[in-house]
Amino acid sequence: MTSGPVVTAEPVMTTAAANTAAAGSAGAAGADTIVDAGTRGVGADVGRPDGVPKVQGRFAFSSDLWADDFLWGHTLRSPHASANIRGIDIGPALATAGVHAVLLADDVPGCITYGLEHGDQPALANGQVRYVGEPVALVAADHPDVARRAAEAIVVDYEVTDPLIDAEAAPDAAPIHPDGNVIRELIIRHGDLDSSGEVTVEGIYEVGMQDQAFMGPESGLALPDEDGGVELFVSTQWLHVDREQVAACLGIDEEKVRITLAGVGGAFGAREDLSLQVHLCMLALHTGKPVKMVYSRDESFYGHVHRHPAKMWYRHHADRDGRLVKVEARIVLDGGAYASSSGAVIANASCFAAGPYKVPAAHIVGLAVRTNNPPCGAMRGFGAVQTCFAHESQMDKLAAALGMDPVELRLINALDSGDRLITGQVITGTFPVAEVIRQCAGAPVPDIPPSDDRRDLPGGSGRTTNAADTVRGTGFAVGFKNLMFSEGYDDYSSAACRVADGVATVTCACAEVGQGFVTLAQQIARTELGVDEVILAPAQTATIGSAGSSSASRQTWMSGGAVQAACRAVRVQILADVAADWGVSPDGLVLRDGLVVSLDGQQEALLAQITAGTGYEADVEYHHAPTEALDENGQGNAHVSFACAAHRVVADVDPDLGLVRIRDITTAQDVGRILNPTQAVGQIEGGTAQGVGLALMEEIVLDNGIVRNASFTDYVIPTTLDMPDVTIAAWVEEPEPNAPYGAKGIGEPPTISSSAAVAAAVRAATGLPLPRIPIRPADIALARNEVQQ
Amino acid sequence: MPDPYSLRVNGVDCEVADSDLAESLLFVLRERLGLTGTKNACTEGECSSCAVLIDGVLTCSCLVLAATAAGQEITTVEGLGDGRDELSVVQEAFVHEGAVQCGFCTPGLIVAVHDLLEANPEPSDGDVREALSGNLCRCTGYGRILAAVHSAAATKRSQP
Ligand code: FES
Ligand code: FES
């Protein structure tokens, strides 16, 4: 047992390294017997290298770190959505026994603001607060409770002003930030805008503010370095962009900020922006001591961006046969107080606003605005989730207007390779939308008899519903989005590979957030190098370039591609040397089973011998094909690749109580190629659950800018009783031509169409229009009352 | 500072010194005894990432004042395996079935599933879902977790 006072145990570096060592030793499990790499390489059902330490509680997450004589940091946050700060008295806080520092905006050594797209967000409030929860002051103390109490003792003199909370009013309202209230307006004009269809349907749709609700709270540990720099262990999605922003705020060279990934307890977009990174480093540099911070759950709700709430006005035109003629839409996303990635989110919402359908003409107005609500940014599905709910609701409405089967309507309009998006871009990769629809819709609908088990009823164990009072409905939806970053962004990943003594070591700064990149990296190295033992070096900024963000379904392709390229570069060196030695052509040699083998079977040598000592090494940067900016009509080849998914949902509803129980979810997904079946299933199940949550229960409730449910008591996410089994009818494997191994990213599509399919099922059961998600019990029960009156 | 007290954790008596009496068992386990396997996803009794057994009773350690657990037998995730390298049947099943993604919910689930299978070696799907409905997981959608529980139950039943 590893007991004993924390302060005398090993320093944090050992803790962080322990994760890596664990990864390495798991990789070494089969190294004494030479295993065919094919059985543990790409496509194989290989377990996670960090699985064993995680089930044992030995895996070090960012909240598990400590160092000798460290302090606890705490953040004082604004209770007001909009206020001027007239003065701050830190005297009583500083005088508290055990307090080592109290820092304010004036103490930010470098640039006061940061941001992913625009540096518009102050590291600490600078004379003004623009949302509830905005950081105002920092405290470091010898105990977390002392730090918290000291923060409460800080006296801030606020002059409270009226908050701007209505996104629709924002463009014309007085600016709440020097950069104005419109973060981005994007207009897409495509095809003949004067065209119209014989049949039109209209709708206004809304999506509430969803939280990523990862389990591992924001946390980290910063250690001051002797050279004036700082070492930061933190959970994040993108180490290098953190470093860039932290260094700017600290006013020091990027090289002096050394960031190492600490164990990440989920991310889903919420760790793409900075949270406590700058704060931790400021406190560590100021006090000269290691400083640790761990957000509480309620603070976590204030500490990261959320999914944008959306309001969407739609008009679909179709001919009598159901072929889409034109889609018109206006989309307003509430970006909250700061820009974060709102510009890219509204681009996605707009570009994919019409769904994965052939649409000859489209007029889309996308608007991301600034308000005094909590900042919104990246969350799994990134803009496509909101518009998928709208376009799929419209497709069902259109099917009803035409008297057509909703699946048939989707099939006749389905996009395919060679077709054009509403941005004018021709899809050059694989895009089997129709096949995904057919596979999902064609799977047998399970025969689920009415159950007497109260756990199967709407309302669950509360025994609120009788089986006889429920109605059943089935809904269907399909959605899509882009993979990787878009609009001309030079998106790349870096990786290094070293093979010595027959063992491969891969270095990549890709943030493992739970998605399983660590497993894939090992699989790729095994496949490319014919080795079994693959050690993963820590993800850090000191010795390797950026891997880009663990977002946008991009790491399998981008960092997978970088690892593949690094391994291949090493393989070329090894084979060239052996070929020269043997006097043969390197083309006749392969790496297999820990051996260098000539294809004619004449010669072989142990890779461990060939690579004894210093071994071979390569360092690569992997870029995807370039994309373009969108022009003034929102036209251009802005995206690299696309992936789609479909969901079919069977739901039982108690219409009087407005309670819903999902009985079955069936899905099919366009995956390119599956590299690890169990991990793929996990992504699909987990992503689907987040869509179910958005459809039925998850919403950050705001009251004049104040979050009313910043806890897991009041912000509820699906539990084992809410999630049915997810049946994967098919993953449609059409390898993507330019992707490493043909694999598409699979993390986001399950979250896109699942919400829309749940909503469709509840509509089918109740006959209600339900234009808003999450569907709250009152939306069903009260709407029915109105209908009945 | 109050007098030092002693907690019995995973069969070992641990001295807790310099601890404020307001500290939760979760905090003392993690920050004073270095047992960080027990997790802190909410610290308000809503997620079960902090689950431990106290005298065999499944408990959210974030809701218990550490000093009140003195004299009781506390079992954490670190005490459930069979040493550093040997995994329990439940742990093995979680690894094998792909029930772990980020892993932050995992220790609490491992403890809860040990408790469940102890009490009910042949749980139905509904039993498992009900028993684990307090354990929040944001990554998996629970599918592989449920598969792991059923697989662990089957393995345990097949063992002599
Ligand atoms: S940390 Fe104890 S229940 Fe969440
Ligand atoms: S695996 Fe991440 S919360 Fe369960």
Tens of pLDDT, residue by residue over A466-491, are 888 899 999 999 999 999 999 999 99
**Residue A186 domain-assigned (yes or no):** no
Same domain for B135 and B95: yes
Spatial separation of the C-alpha atoms in residues B94 and B96, rounded to whole Å: 6
Q: Which positions 485-514 of A are in contact with B (Cβ < 8 Å)?
A: 513-514
**Residue A126 domain-assigned (yes or no):** yes
**What ipTM does this complex have?**
0.98
Same domain for B75 and B12: yes
pLDDT at A376 over 90: yes
Choose among A425, A453, A547, A435: nearest CA to A494: A547
Spatial separation of the C-alpha atoms in residues A53 and A33, rounded to whole Å: 23
Same domain for A555 and A665: no
Name the domain boundary from B49, B79, B109. B79
Identify the three-state secondary structure at position A206.
Answer: strand
Question: Over the Cα atoms of chain B, what is R_g?
Answer: 16
Strands (E), B65-142: 73-75
What's the Cα-to-Cα distance from A392 to each of A395, A757, A758, B89, rounded to whole Å? 5, 8, 11, 44
Choose among A691, A695, A717, A685: nearest CA to A301: A717
Q: Which of A6-10, A116-120, A269-273, A566-570 has the least mean pLDDT? A: A6-10
Same domain for A336 and A261: no
Q: Which CATH number goes with the domain that contains A457? A: 3.30.365.10
What total number of domains does chain B contain? 2
Cβ(A215) – ligand 2 distance below 6 Å: yes
For A63-102, the pLDDT digits (tens) are 999 999 999 999 999 999 999 999 999 999 999 999 999 9
Same domain for B68 and B25: yes
Same domain for B112 and B59: no
What total number of domains does chain A contain? 3
**Residue A106 domain-assigned (yes or no):** yes
Q: Which CATH number goes with the domain that contains A87? A: 3.90.1170.50
Work out the angle between the directed axes of helices A677-696 and B143-158 (0-180°, nearest 10): 120
What's the Cα-to-Cα distance from A372 to each of A84, A119, A131, A165, B43, rounded to whole Å? 13, 17, 5, 6, 29
Ligand whose nearest atom lies closest to the CA of A63: 1
Residue where the block lists tokens 């700064």? A509
Spatial separation of the C-alpha atoms in residues A50 and A61, rounded to whole Å: 12
For B88-101, the pLDDT digits (tens) are 999 999 999 999 99
Q: Which positions 294-333 of A are in contact with B (Cβ < 8 Å)?
A: 294, 296-297
Nearest to A717 among B91, B100, B136 (CB): B136
Token output for B55: 């005298």
> CB–CB of A241/A116 below 8 Å?
yes
Name the domain boundary from B27, B46, B79. B79
Would you call B102 and A689 a contact, using CB atoms and an 8 Å cutoff? no
> Chain A closest CA to B54's CA: distance in Å?
17
pLDDT at A10 over 80: no
Print the domain residue range for B134.
89-158
Same domain for A465 and A353: yes
Choose among B73, B74, B79: nearest CA to B61: B74
**Residue B119 domain-assigned (yes or no):** yes
Residues with Cβ < 8 Å from A595, sequence gap 6 or more?
A34, A530, A604, A605, A606, A607
Same domain for B10 and B71: yes
**Residue A170 domain-assigned (yes or no):** no
- By DSSP bridging, strand A155-160 and strand A595-598 are unpaired
> CB–CB of B117/B123 below 8 Å?
yes
> Chain A closest CA to B147's CA: distance in Å?
10
Chain B residues with CB inside 8 Å of A210's CB?
none
**What's the pLDDT band for A265 if we cut at 50, 70, 90?**
very high
Arithmetic mean of pLDDT, B71-94: 91
Q: For all residues of chain A together, what is the average pLDDT?
A: 93
First to last CA, chain B: 51
> Chain A closest CA to B99's CA: distance in Å?
8
Nearest to A215 among B49, B91, B97 (CB): B49
Nearest to A713 among B33, B46, B94 (CB): B46
Distance from the alpha carbon of residue A326 to the mean position of ligand 2, in angstroms: 42
* Strands of A726-732's sheet in order across: A471-483, A641-654, A659-670, A726-732
**Residue B110 domain-assigned (yes or no):** yes
Same domain for A352 and A374: yes
Residues with Cβ < 8 Å from B108, sequence gap 6 or more?
B38, B39, B47, B48, B49, B50, B51, B77, B135
> Chain A closest CA to B52's CA: distance in Å?
12
Choose among A348, A258, A271: nearest CA to A308: A348
Q: Which CATH number goes with the domain that contains B33? A: 3.10.20.30
Same domain for A592 and A459: no
Spatial separation of the C-alpha atoms in residues A4 and A8, rounded to whole Å: 8
Q: What is the dihedral of CA A498, A501, A502, A504, to 10 degrees?
A: -30
Same domain for A157 and A76: yes
A-B CB pairs within 8 A amount to 214
Would you call B138 and A712 a contact, using CB atoms and an 8 Å cutoff? no
* pLDDT score of A784: 72
Cβ(B16) – ligand 2 distance below 6 Å: no
* pLDDT score of A26: 29
Same domain for B71 and B103: no
Distance from the alpha carbon of residue A207 to the mean position of ligand 2, in angstroms: 25
For A512-546, the pLDDT digits (tens) are 999 999 999 999 999 999 999 999 999 999 999 99
**Residue A499 domain-assigned (yes or no):** yes
Identify the three-state secondary structure at position A330.
Answer: strand
Distance from the alpha carbon of residue A523 to the mean position of ligand 2, in angstroms: 22
For A603-621, the pLDDT digits (tens) are 999 999 999 998 999 999 9
Residues with Cβ < 8 Å from A373, sequence gap 6 or more?
A81, A131, A165, A167, A209, A309, A334, A336, A337, A702, A705
Choose among A698, A697, A681: nearest CA to A750: A681
> CB–CB of A692/A718 below 8 Å?
yes
> Chain B closest CA to A160's CA: distance in Å?
31
Name the domain boundary from B20, B55, B79. B79
Q: What percent of chain B has pLDDT over 90?
A: 89
pLDDT at A440 over 50: yes
Residues facing A522 on adjacent strands: none
Indicate the length of chain B as a whole number. 160
Atom of ligand 2 nearest to the CA of A266: 2
Distance from the alpha carbon of residue A5 to the mean position of ligand 1, in angstroms: 23
- By DSSP bridging, strand A361-369 and strand A324-334 are parallel
Distance from the alpha carbon of residue B105 to the mean position of ligand 2, in angstroms: 5
Distance from the alpha carbon of residue B59 to the mean position of ligand 1, in angstroms: 10
Same domain for A699 and A573: no
Name the domain boundary from A602, A622, A642. A622
**Residue B19 domain-assigned (yes or no):** yes
Would you call A711 and B42 a contact, using CB atoms and an 8 Å cutoff? yes
For A695-742, the pLDDT digits (tens) are 999 999 999 999 999 999 999 999 999 999 999 999 999 999 999 999
* pLDDT score of A459: 84
Chain B residues with CB inside 8 Å of A686's CB?
101, 138-141
**Residue A177 domain-assigned (yes or no):** no
Would you call B102 and A213 a contact, using CB atoms and an 8 Å cutoff? no
Same domain for B128 and B153: yes
Residues facing A258 on adjacent strands: A231
Same domain for A396 and A254: no
Residues with Cβ < 8 Å from A653, sequence gap 6 or more?
A458, A470, A471, A472, A473, A659, A660, A661, A762, A765, A766, A780
Identify the three-state secondary structure at position A516.
Answer: coil
Same domain for A711 and A651: yes
Would you call B77 and A263 a contact, using CB atoms and an 8 Å cutoff? no
Q: Which of B46, B80, B138 to probe by mutation at the A interface, max A CB count within 10 Å?
A: B138
Same domain for A471 and A333: yes
Name the domain boundary from A622, A641, A675. A622
CB neighbourhood size of A38 (10 A) = 14
Arithmetic mean of pLDDT, A294-316: 98
Q: What residue ranges line ligand 1, CB within 6 angstroms?
A: B 40-43, 45-50, 60, 62
Q: What is the pTM of this model?
A: 0.95
Q: How many CA atoms lie within 13 A of A474 on its CB side?
A: 14
**What's the pLDDT band for A776 if we cut at 50, 70, 90?**
very high
Ligand 1 pocket check: which of B28, B30, B47 to mutate, most ligand atoms within 8 Å of Cβ? Answer: B47
Q: Does the beta carbon of A8 lie under 8 angstroms from any beta carbon of chain B? A: no
Cβ(B105) – ligand 2 distance below 6 Å: yes
Same domain for B67 and B9: yes
**What's the pLDDT band for A152 if we cut at 50, 70, 90?**
very high
Identify the three-state secondary structure at position A326.
Answer: strand
Distance from the alpha carbon of residue B136 to the mean position of ligand 1, in angstroms: 9
Residue having the nearest C-alpha atom to atom 3 of ligand 2 = B137
Chain A residues with CB inside 8 Å of B128's CB?
720
**What's the pLDDT band for A584 if we cut at 50, 70, 90?**
very high
**Residue A9 domain-assigned (yes or no):** no
Token output for A149: 């109490």
CB neighbourhood size of A7 (10 A) = 14
Which carries the bigger pLDDT value, residue B143 or residue A8?
B143
* pLDDT score of A463: 67
Would you call B43 and A3 a contact, using CB atoms and an 8 Å cutoff? no
**Residue B84 domain-assigned (yes or no):** no
Chain A residues with CB inside 8 Å of B150's CB?
none
> Chain A closest CA to B103's CA: distance in Å?
6
Same domain for B105 and B75: no
Chain A residues with CB inside 8 Å of B97's CB?
678
Same domain for A81 and A97: yes
Q: Does the beta carbon of A712 lie under 8 angstroms from any beta carbon of chain B? A: yes
Same domain for B93 and B70: no
**What's the pLDDT band for B2 if we cut at 50, 70, 90?**
confident
DSSP state of B28: I
Q: Determine if the peptide bond prior to A458 is cis (ω within 30°).
A: no
Arithmetic mean of pLDDT, B131-156: 98
- By DSSP bridging, strand A155-160 and strand A83-89 are antiparallel
Chain A residues with CB inside 8 Å of B102's CB?
214-216, 264-267, 513-514
Print the domain residue range for A466.
310-486+630-788
Same domain for A21 and A120: no
Would you call B100 and A54 a contact, using CB atoms and an 8 Å cutoff? yes
Nearest to B20 among A60, A145, A726 (CB): A145
**Residue B97 domain-assigned (yes or no):** yes
**Residue A460 domain-assigned (yes or no):** yes
Q: Which of B36, B44, B76 to probe by mutation at the A interface, max A CB count within 10 Å?
A: B36
Q: What is the dihedral of CA A131, A137, A141, A143, to 10 degrees?
A: -10
Same domain for B99 and B70: no
> Chain A closest CA to B96's CA: distance in Å?
7
* pLDDT score of A453: 84
DSSP state of A748: S
> CB–CB of A289/A224 below 8 Å?
yes
- Residue A105 has φ and ψ, to the nearest 5°, of -55, -40
Same domain for B65 and B102: no
Cβ(B140) – ligand 2 distance below 6 Å: yes
Chain A residues with CB inside 8 Å of B44's CB?
297, 711-713
Q: Which CATH number goes with the domain that contains B139? A: 1.10.150.120
What's the Cα-to-Cα distance from A462 to each of A660, A778, B153, rounded to whole Å? 13, 18, 27
Atom of ligand 2 nearest to the CA of B99: 1
Nearest to B42 among A9, A58, A712 (CB): A712
